[in-house]
Amino acid sequence: MRVLDLHCDTLSALRRLRRESAGPAEAEAGALDPGACSQLPEKPGLRENHLHLDLSRMRQAGYSLQVFAAFVDLGREADPLAACREQIQILREELAANPDWIAPVESWEDYEENRRQGKLSALLSLEEGAVCQGDPEILGDLYRAGARMMTLTWNHANGLGFPNHAEYRPETGLVCRPEERGLTEKGRAVLEEMERLGMLVDVSHLSDGGFWQVAACTRRPFLASHSNARAVCGHTRNLTDPMIRAIAERGGLIGLNFCVSFLDPAWRPGRCGTPEEMAAHLRHIRDVGGMDCLALGSDFDGIEEAPSFGGCEGMPLLWEALGRLGFSEEEREKLFFRNAERFFQENL
Ligand SMILES: [Zn+2]
């Protein structure tokens, strides 16, 4: 068993922790949520930490590749590109500090070489297309800095396109507002440049209208790195059945998100996701799009509550639980690593 995970927010979590440990003035400058963490080591790092994911536990759990997102919240960052570059720098520092355990991947050959050397692979993605400001030069710079995947939006309209929204209201639960508006002209130009560069297009967070424009305007396979099935949980962050089919027919990937509010339509804050809930999404996506489009997109350190089996250390428990829930070894191998490896071999 190997683990390839298409999405985590550990870089932005490390950035937040570092700013908090640097003092209130720094934290204020980054417009950070105060009081999120009380007991911190001097400089929180990737080797061992108290987050959902660290290298020590990933090695134990059999990881071979993690996609690290540089996540930027346009609503909180005065300089989105600087916030993105700060996270790329954190990843660089952490890779330099742990060369025995992890190395970057920018191509399939890098991945194979890392595996030969018994190292984890780190793939950089960007979660907020607006960091490139619609400028192909900036996009090219970020590509040269190692970014190989990007979501066009996060949860804000950003000049490139529109996100999917969902609000939680205590009295009514989730209120979905499907957003049909698609990509702007600038967004379509960025999309074209991404395909030209060979930067993978990630449709997670994108509006339904934007999704269909990506499907129509691109030629290569694309992915939803951390999204589930809307038929199972009616959250707009999840994919409709026609979307699942469109990704599968193109040879793309759908990464299972562990966020409880994308798993369970009746979730309440404070509860965590379970393998049973994940299995319901996996069965549905398998039945609609086939087993070959499924992968993992944990969203570790981007979700409030780790799943019932814990953080990255719990992936072997998920493997076992899905076996008990009726998924064959072949199906679990596809989900955990084979599909993602095939996708990266063909598209990275
Ligand atoms: Zn996300």
Ligand 1 center from residue 48 Cα (angstroms): 23
Q: Where are the domains of the chain?
A: 3-347
Q: Which residue has the higher pLDDT, 145 or 159?
A: 145
CA distance 311 to 3: 13
pTM for this model (two decimals): 0.92
State in Å: Cα 300 to ligand 1 middle. 10
In the reported structure, the alpha carbon of residue 297 is separated from the centroid of ligand 1 by a whole-number distance in angstroms of 10
CA of 153 to the centre of ligand 1 (A): 9
Q: Pick 222 or 234 by higher pLDDT.
A: 222
- Ligand 1 centroid to Cα of residue 116, in Å, is 31
Superfamily of 3-347 according to CATH: Metal-dependent hydrolases (3.20.20.140)
Percent of the chain past pLDDT 90, that is, above it, reads 80
Q: How far is the CA of 165 from the centre of ligand 1 (A)?
A: 12
72 C-alpha to ligand 1 centroid (Å): 10
Each as own residue / partner, the long-range contacts of residues 17-20 (CB below 8 Å, 24 or more positions apart, any chain) are 17/44, 17/49, 17/51, 18/43, 18/44, 18/90
Res 221 pLDDT > 90: yes
Give the distance (Å) from ligand 1 centre to CA of residue 155: 8
Residues contacting residue 274 through CB under 8 Å, at least 6 positions apart: 263, 307, 308
The two structure tokens encoding residue 69: 């997102």
Ligand 1 center to 117 CA (angstroms): 31
List pLDDT tens digits, range 275-320.
Answer: 999 999 999 999 999 999 999 999 999 998 899 999 999 999 999 9
Integer Cα distance of 12 and 114 in angstroms: 24
Give the model confidence (pLDDT) of 94-120 as tens digits: 999 999 999 999 999 999 999 999 999
120-133: pLDDT as tens digits: 999 999 999 999 98
- How far does the centroid of ligand 1 lie from the alpha carbon of residue 226, in Å? 7
CA 154 – ligand 1 centroid, Å: 7
